[in-house]
Each structure stands twice: as C-alpha cells, then as structure tokens.
C-alpha cells in the first residue's frame, strides 16, 4: 500500500500574519458549524435533528481537508479526502451549479447510509474549493429496514450504492437521479428533506467562503488553507518528537464473524512506530476480511486511525490534511480493515471502526504514559445500530427508525470514565429523546437508567452503561448490528474490561429471548417488552486500590451494587438507612478484604466483559507507578519534577 504521509521536515512558517491566520482558521470552522446547524434545522429524521449524525467540511480543489464543524462526526471527516479525490478523478469537468450525491463505501469510505452531497465552489472561473455535507440517512433500501444487514455476505444486500451522480445541474434538480433514489429506498418523502438540507448546506458554505475571498483576497484565503494544515502538522510533529522512539503494538477483537460457520472472533492489530517526528501505523497484522458485515474499506481505516490519534492529541482539532499527511498508514488489501468489493460494510462503525479507534489509542497510550498519562484511555462503549421498521398502527404509514445507546467511557490513568456519554468516536452526536421517538414510532419507553455494575473495574473505574427499556405498541421488524457482547472494552493497567452490550426480548418472562448484537428481522409483536443496554467503559488499575469513599459514592448513587463493592473492590458497606442514604464503610472488614484480594488475584484473564485484559495489564503501568493515584499527574519515579 502506498504511504499516506510525507517525510518532509516540519511545515514552513505562516504565509499570512498571525492575526489573519487565527481569524481565518476559526472562520473556516465557523462556516462548517453554521452549515451543520442548517442541516439540523432543515432535516426530517430524528437521527439527524436530534442525534446530530451529520458532518460538513471544506476541502481544497485537489481534495485536501481544511476544516469541519465542531459537532461533526469523526468517522465521516477522515473519509472526505478520499471522497473528493475520487470525485475529481471521475468527473472530467465541473461547472458552476453542479452538485453531486455519492455514498459508495469502497471509494469514499464508511457505509451506504452515509450519503454525501458535494458542491464544487467556483471563483474566477475555476474550482476554488469543495463543500461536502454528509447525513446518515435512516434507510437507503435493501432487504432490511434501516439497511443494516447482519447476515449480508455481499454489498448487493445492503441497499443502494451510488457512485458520484449529478444531483443538481446549474442548481436545478436532476429529476432522473432523484427518481432513482426515491424508487430504491423506504420512506423516500422523508429523505427529500435531507437532500435539500445537505444541498443548502453546500450553498451556505459557498456564500460564506466567497465572502471571505472578497474581503481578504483570493491568495490570502488560499494561503490560509495551507497555513491551517501546516499549523496542525507542526503541533503534531512537535508532540511526536517528545515521545520515545520505538514500536508499540496492541490487539483488540470483534465478537465474531457470523458469516462463517465456526463464527470466529476477528483480530484487529496495529504496530505504531515512532522515529523522530515520523509516524507509521501498520495494520498488516489484522485478520482477513470477514464474510459478514463488520469490516471497512481503506478510507474508513484512515478515518479511524486519525480519530484514535486525535483523542490522544485533542489540541489538533479540527482534523485537517496537516495531520493526515503526517501519519503513514499501511494496510493489506482484503483484510478486515481494508476490505474490497463486494465484502459487506454496513456494520463498519460498530465493527472494525471502533476496534481500530481503540487499538490506535492503546498504541499511542503506551508511548504517552510516561510523558503525559492524562492522554491515555481505556476502552469505551461500542456503537449498536438499532433499527426498527414497519407500518405505524396509528397512522398507517411506513416508518424506519435508527438509534443507538450512550454508554461508559474508558477510565483514564487519573480519573474515572464518564457515564452515559456517546461513543468517543462520535462525540458530537447526542441522545435522541424518548419523547421524540415515542411521537414518531410505535414504542413506549418504560425506563431509561444506569446499567448497574456495568463499569470496567479499577482504581479508576470505567463509566457506566445505559439501559433503555420499552413496550412495543405495534408489530415491528427489528434489525440490530452491533458488537462487544462477548469482547468487552479493554481495561488497562490491571483494570477489568467493560460490561457487555445487551438486547433481550421479554426479560423475566417465560418467553425471554436473548436477541444479541446480530439480530436480523426479529418480529416484535404488540405487547412485547425490550431491554436494551450498553457497554460500560474499561477500568484502569487495581480495583482494591480504589479509594473506599469513591466506592461508597457509587453505591449510594445506585451505580454499583453492595455485592460488587465487596467482592471486586474489597469495600464492606453497611446499610444503616437506605431511605436516608445512610451507608457506612466497615473499616476493619474492608482492610481484611483488600489484603485478601491483593494476596490472591484470581480474576480471570481474557478479553471478555469484566475480565482482565492481558495486554492491558502487561503494557500499561498502574496509576501508582505513573504518579496519578491522587488524580493529579506527578513525576514518574526517577524523573525530575
């Protein structure tokens, strides 16, 4: 595979003066923010209007990423360069008013539901930039409501796949293309709103960007594009030079390839090599492509690699080509992280993407832990693609819904993981309120609450997962494509892996059924109850070294059971008056329990939920060794303060 990074020295000094540079760098981001807000207000689907599953970016004429919006989604943005570069390759000539629609995952990344609308922006008779607006459409056809197809073995069973098609010509809708789309997707009247929203977002980017060209001059804006990229590259390479040269490796696993008879787990392995300010991330140790829908094509691999990197270096945001060109990514065609057509990919984000993101952070974490351990993350909640569809019993109209659950973030070496947060890799997305979903779809939510004991345990625990439980009001088809039911988000430094994703129909009844994370066309009947719960994040450090008062606080908050407090954390808690929240720590019994746990660490080692991840234990120092047990980062033993 050709390298994706340059080996040039640190980027040159600014072309514009520092004040102009800062004004324009932030202006580009503000333009994308405004266009993203337009999409949120004009679109129809709660996935977009409430869940914020959209992104807007500005790119140069040759397809280099300049900026994106602050709430935009990381899985999208890292694929935009490949998308625009493919568009430029395929279209011999652009004219003003051309607008293209495109969702092919093999040339542009992600999956079919992520539909891009791309507008070339002209100035002085030539293409000056590209605006790209992406929304996750709840359905793009195929045999399953929501398009996700856990048992697909080819992309042809995963809905409408579009090469770059001219959606508008001279800013007039190209009716045959609109008709083609509408004839191949469910609830097409709703998707008309998304098309208009994305189209208008591109026009807004064009107006705002050209207004800056008129104000500052064409060359100043072109220079600002380059300065923005160079600035990010300088920051990144300065950080890399602080890290120890060497190679850092980590492995994570997908639950299973349900397309194979033996349903084996799927290995994702990376080797990060640092040499001065040069970075190479090698994914050639990954398993071959799965048969079922779990892997992704190379553009999404690049996006996930940049994403995991940005979590460790958040000051680099927003992502742009300066970071892209500074990382050399190596992969093998036909592997699970670089699949080829027709390998199915709708499950990419809950499958390969989250694992690549996790492994990337773990590789960087090994290099960072002795330099700045605040940048090290344990594993986080995994996405669950949860789709329902059918005919609404009240309106008689077809519907398709798409949602997910928030969950637990991974612990850090100095702090607990956050609870009930979005997946770290789609941090700009948000909760879709129960009230909105109940108005749109035939389901009634009976509870939304913390998933007790779901955290990965450690001196610093992972965040807690979330459960949403609902009653079904009308016959509904259910499709779920997720992961991390049997492989938990990795714990580090002796912490345990986070708890599992869970989906159960009619829990606690004689008809109870574990539907799991690979559910295809399950029929929910009126009166069925559904229990849907998300991962907790991985823990960091040894649980019996956690401050007892922190354990007590979690018990009082009903996040942690008294049994787990005793058996895992070694904290004996007496209930004096539960109604008054009067709980007491038995100091003597706690001391005895903790001495016993420390002397006989019999916790199982493995990748399953609540097991101790062997690599996380071997490769990562505990908080005491990092000087972070008190929460504040201190010097390592033998190092100067």
Q: What residue ranges do the domains of the chain occupy?
A: 18-234, 372-542+602-626, 544-600
Reported confidence tier of residue 633, pLDDT bands at 50, 70, 90: low
Spatial strand order of the sheet with 114-123 comes to: 65-68, 54-59, 126-136, 114-123, 99-102, 165-169, 172-173
**For tokens 């990381």, what's the residue?**
74
- Distance between CA atoms of 355 and 341, rounded to whole angstroms? 21
The two structure tokens encoding residue 391: 């005919």
pLDDT in tens, 295-331: 999 999 999 999 999 999 999 989 999 999 999 999 9
- Distance between CA atoms of 472 and 415, rounded to whole angstroms? 39
Question: Does the pLDDT value for residue 613 go beyond 80?
Answer: yes
DSSP for 153-195, please give it: SSGGGS-----SEEEEETTEE-HHHHHHHHTTSSSHHHHHHHH
SS (H, E, C) 312-381: HCHHHCCCCHHHHCCEEEECCCCECCECCCCCCCCCCHHHHHHHHHHHHHHHHHHHHCCCCHHHCECCCC
Question: Does the pLDDT value for residue 418 go beyond 50?
Answer: yes
Residues 229-255, mean pLDDT to the nearest whole number: 98
Signed CA dihedral, 15, 20, 26, 29: sign only: negative
The two structure tokens encoding residue 253: 């696993």
Please provide residue 41's backbone torsions phi and psi, each rounded to the nearest 5 degrees.
-85, -25
- Distance between CA atoms of 431 and 405, rounded to whole angstroms? 8
> What is the model's pLDDT at position 58?
98
If we measure between CA atoms, which residue out of 187, 186, 199, 85 comes closest to residue 134?
A: 199
Question: Does the pLDDT value for residue 4 go beyond 60?
Answer: no
By the 8 A CB rule, do 529 and 485 touch?
no
Reported confidence tier of residue 120, pLDDT bands at 50, 70, 90: very high
- Distance between CA atoms of 231 and 15, rounded to whole angstroms? 11
- Strand runs (DSSP E) across 72-113, as ranges? 99-102
Kindly give, in sequence order, each residue whose CB lies less than 8 Å from that of residue 7, ignoring residues fewer than 6 positions away.
278
Reported confidence tier of residue 637, pLDDT bands at 50, 70, 90: very low
If we measure between CA atoms, which residue out of 54, 387, 349, 33 comes closest to residue 194?
A: 54
The two structure tokens encoding residue 93: 């000539």
> What is the model's pLDDT at position 11?
60
Please tell me the least confidently modeled range out of 65-74, 234-243, 300-309. Answer: 65-74
Taken as a whole, the chain contains a residue count of 641
> What is the model's pLDDT at position 5?
46
């Amino acid at each position: 595979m050709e390298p994706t990074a340059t080996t040039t020295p640190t980027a040159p000094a600014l072309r514009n003066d520092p004040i102009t540079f800062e004004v324009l760098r932030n202006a580009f981001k503000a333009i994308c923010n405004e266009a993203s807000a337009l999409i949120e207000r004009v679109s129809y689907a709660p996935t977009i209007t409430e869940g914020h599953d959209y992104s807007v970016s500005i790119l140069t004429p040759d397809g280099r990423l300049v900026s994106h919006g602050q709430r935009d989604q990381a899985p999208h943005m890292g694929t935009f360069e490949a998308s625009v570069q493919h568009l430029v390759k395929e279209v011999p000539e652009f004219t003003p008013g051309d607008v293209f629609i495109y969702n092919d995952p093999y040339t542009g990344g992600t999956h079919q539901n992520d539909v891009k609308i791309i507008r070339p922006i002209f100035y002085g008779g030539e293409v000056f930039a590209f605006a790209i607006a992406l929304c996750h459409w709840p359905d793009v056809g195929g045999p399953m409501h929501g398009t996700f197809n856990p048992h697909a073995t080819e992309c042809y069973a995963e809905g409408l796949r579009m090469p770059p098609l001219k959606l508008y010509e001279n800013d007039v809708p190209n009716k045959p293309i609109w008709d083609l789309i509408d004839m191949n997707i469910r609830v097409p009247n709703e998707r008309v709103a998304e098309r208009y929203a994305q189209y208008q977002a591109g026009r807004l980017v064009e107006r705002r960007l050209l207004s800056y060209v008129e104000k500052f001059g064409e060359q100043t804006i072109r220079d600002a594009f380059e300065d923005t990229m160079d600035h990010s590259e300088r920051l990144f390479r300065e950080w890399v030079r602080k890290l120890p040269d060497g190679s850092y490796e980590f492995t994570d696993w997908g639950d299973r390839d349900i397309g194979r008879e033996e349903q084996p787990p799927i290995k994702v392995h990376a080797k990060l090599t640092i040499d001065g300010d040069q970075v190479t991330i090698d994914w050639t140790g990954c398993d071959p492509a799965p048969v079922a829908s779990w892997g992704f094509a190379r553009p999404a691999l690049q996006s996930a690699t940049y994403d995991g990197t940005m979590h460790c270096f958040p000051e680099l945001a927003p992502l742009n080509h300066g970071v892209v060109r500074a990382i050399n990514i190596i992969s093998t065609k036909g592997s699970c992280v670089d699949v080829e057509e027709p390998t199915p990919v709708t499950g990419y984000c809950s499958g390969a993407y989250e694992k690549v993101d996790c492994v990337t952070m773990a590789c960087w974490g090994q290099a960072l832990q002795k330099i700045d351990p605040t940048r090290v993350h344990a594993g986080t909640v995994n996405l669950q693609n949860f789709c329902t569809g059918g005919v609404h019993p009240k309106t008689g109209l077809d519907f398709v819904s798409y949602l997910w659950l928030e969950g637990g973030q991974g612990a850090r070496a100095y702090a607990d993981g956050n609870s009930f947060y979005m997946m770290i890799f789609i941090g700009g997305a948000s909760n879709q309120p129960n009230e909105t979903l109940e108005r749109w779809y035939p389901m009634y939510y009976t509870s939304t609450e913390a998933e007790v004991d779901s955290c990965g345990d450690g001196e610093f625990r992972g965040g807690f997962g979330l459960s949403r439980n609902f009653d079904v009001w009308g016959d509904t088809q259910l499709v779920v494509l997720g992961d991390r039911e049997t492989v938990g988000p990795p714990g580090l430094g002796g912490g345990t892996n986070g708890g599992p994703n869970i989906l159960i129909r009619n829990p606690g009844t004689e008809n109870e059924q574990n539907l799991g994370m690979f559910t295809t066309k399950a029929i929910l009947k009126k009166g069925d109850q559904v229990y849907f719960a998300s991962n907790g994040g991985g823990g960091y450090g040894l649980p019996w070294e956690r401050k007892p008062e922190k354990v007590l606080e979690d018990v009082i908050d009903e996040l942690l059971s008294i049994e787990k407090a005793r058996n895992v954390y070694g904290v004996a808690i007496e209930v004096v008056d539960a109604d008054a929240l009067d709980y007491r720590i038995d100091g003597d019994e706690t001391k005895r329990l903790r001495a016993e746990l420390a002397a006989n660490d019999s916790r199982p080692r493995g990748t399953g939920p609540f097991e101790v991840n062997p690599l996380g234990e071997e490769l990562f120092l505990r908080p005491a060794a990092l000087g972070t047990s008190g929460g504040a980062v201190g010097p390592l033993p033998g190092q100067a303060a």
